[in-house]
Structure 1
Amino acid sequence: MTSSQTALHVDDVTSGYKASVVLRKLSMSIASGEAVALVGKNGMGKTTLLKTIMGYLPKKTGAVRVNGRDVTQLPPHQIARAGIAYAPQEHALFPDLTIRDNLRLGLVKASWFDERFAEIEPIFPVFKSRLKQYAGTLSGGEQKMLLVARALMMRPSIILLDEITEGLQPSVIDRLADALLWERNRHGTTLLLIEQNVPFALKVADRYVVLKQGHIIDQGSANDDAAAASIFEHLRV
């Protein structure tokens, strides 16, 4: 599901960690409702790009726009309020809070909880009878699902996902793919996902973009018969 309207635009962005430059004048656009898989070997700037979009890293040059709004200089919490949900590679859960409380943290109003949870509960039935359980007692796969569930509860216009399938069983990966496809079909949500699991990436995404040393070096349609071979070649070299 795509449209001609641009949801996310990264324009000539340079970013990194203190004196270390990782992204070098990178530009890319994602249409509203489009899903893009960002692939490449480790250390090529993929996570840096997501953290830069979210405002966790400063932009040395360039601009970031969300649904036409310039968010370049905004702090992370204001960028989130502009309509972006972020599921990072490192678990950003509160282990000493319950599942319910972790899910509720993504909501502007606590009164929205019942309606929002009722919508996602069929996708994540494992949480229905366990809302009072502490998040720190969940398995790794369940914690990943909780991260995605919290993002969906926000009803964002854009979701950023960083290696969400890493270390997960195939059955959990399939459930996450179904959840993201459901979200796109129901709400037209835009997705940008970093992913090493190529079959998962191609199942969820419309398009793939290959990042190497802070530059986009290749991109193509996820529906192309040669897409998987092209991505695996880039990951191998």
Structure 2
Amino acid sequence: MSQVALNIERVTSGYKASVVLRNLSLSIGSGEAVALLGKNGMGKTTLLKTIMGYLPAKSGAIHVDGLDITRLPPHRIARSGIAYAPQEHALFQDLSIRDNLRLGLPRVSVFNERFAEIEPIFPVFKTRLKQDAGTLSGGEQKMLLVARALMMRPSIILLDEITEGLQPSVIDRLADALLWERGRHGTTILLIEQNVPFALKVADRYAVLKQGEVIEQGDAKHLGAAASIFDHLRV
């Protein structure tokens, strides 16, 4: 593995007295994409919220490029170079597309430069920057979440079920966007997915989470990976 970008070491986390993650360890190399798979309720979203500081780790440590972020507040973690696209639509519905995209930028003056980079991937926004985000379709809102994350030029992107409820054409566009981002900026990606074909297209490796623990990891391009993953995702 290349230099470690995100290192999760024996992390236990959950909600108040309820433990969801149990001594979970996972390392992701710089520029690598890892798909975290598993049935609902296994702790996938809990892991992302713990990384971002929305849930405190009860034990263990999380490092980003060697920096210990375990006890940092969410805004400090975001400033360390992590962008998060949550499963729920975390958009400002009454603000324009432009204003949503501007959130998280280091300064307003870089907007045109950053938008020019992502516009070929998300051409739907080119002539609609003044439109309120709340008027977009579900698929367009998902694309806006990803576009906003890319505008930040993060070193790490965390993506939670971004394909849920989307049409195949939109899913293909999101896959292209993530592959483009990795190719151009070497961004590290951790994505949670139920859509296994999408996950295997984007990711280098997969990890399967069951009852708060990583029970299997492997090469996402391995011919036998899909069958093994589907076994773990059966209800």
TM-score range for the pair, normalised by the shorter chain length? over 0.9
Deviation at 1:33, TM superposition (A): 0.4
1:159 to 149, 157, 160: 157
What is the aligned partner in structure 2 of residue 229 from structure 1?
A: 227
> So what's the TM-score if we normalise by structure 2?
0.99
Aligned pairs for 1:113-124 within 5 A: 113-124=111-122
Aligned to 2:141: 143
Unaligned runs of 5+ in 2: none
Mapped partners of 2:21, 2:125: distance in 1: 38
What is the CA–CA distance in structure 2 between the aligned matches of 1:67 and 1:137, rounded to whole Å? 38
Unaligned stretches of 5+ residues in structure 1: none
The match for 1:90 is: 88
What displacement does 1:188 show? 0.3
Aligned residue number for residue 167 of structure 2: 169
1:191 maps to 189
In the aligned structure 2, how far is the partner of 1:176 from the partner of 1:124?
9
Residue correspondences, number: 235
Compute the displacement of 1:4 (Å): 1.3
Picking from 192, 201, 209, the partner of 1:211 is 209
Determine the structure 1 residue equivalent to 2:44: 46
TM-aligned CA deviation for residue 45 of structure 1: 0.3
1:28 counterpart residue number: 26
Please give the alpha-carbon distance, in whole angstroms, between the structure 1 residues aligned to 2:114 and 2:31.
20
The match for 1:108 is 106
For residues 218 and 236 of structure 1, the distance between their equivalents in structure 2, rounded to whole angstroms, comes to 15
State the Cα distance separating 1:106 from its structure 2 match.
Answer: 2.0
- Write out per-residue CA displacement over residues 28-84 of structure 1, whole angstroms, 9 at most, x where no aligned residue: 100000000000000000000000000000010011100111111100011000000
Which runs of at least 4 in structure 1 moved beyond 4 Å after TM superposition?
A: none
Q: What is the CA RMSD across the aligned residues, in angstroms?
A: 0.7
Identity %: 83
Residue in 1 aligned with 2:53? 55
Distance 1:63 1:219 in 2: 20
